[in-house]
Amino acid sequence: MEDNVKTVEILGSGCARCEETYRVVRHVVEEAGLACEVVKVESYQRMAQLGVMATPAVAIDGGVVLAGRVPKAEEIRQLLGLR
């Protein structure tokens, strides 16, 4: 179990695909009982700062791991080092 992850950011302007991504990540985090924070970020400044050009995007501790599509739960588990 990866307990080192502090924050998972879901970046997007609030469109349906971003909401969906947020749900998927929350689900995975809650299911695994991780202590990390899951935040929905709608700030364009933050997106630019992270170099995100396609939404929805997911960043783990400030590093973008996925952009431009809704991830599957399995992918998020892998990215969080749960599998």
If one asks whether residue 33 binds another protein (CB under 8 A), the answer comes out as: no
User: For another protein, which stretch binds (CB under 8 A), given 1-9, 10-18, 24-32, 33-41?
Assistant: 10-18
Q: Which amino acid, one-letter code, is at 7?
A: T
- The verdict on whether 36 is a catalytic residue reads no
DSSP string for residues in 51-77: T--SSSEEEETTEEEEESSPPPHHHHH
Residue 44's φ and ψ, nearest 5 degrees, are -70, -30
Among 29, 41, 52, 80, which residue interacts with another protein (rule: CB under 8 A)? 52
Question: Looking at 18, 52, 58, 79, which residue is catalytic?
Answer: 18
27 Cβ contact list (under 8 Å, min separation 6): 73
User: For another protein, which stretch binds (CB under 8 A), given 1-9, 24-32, 33-41, 43-51?
Assistant: 43-51
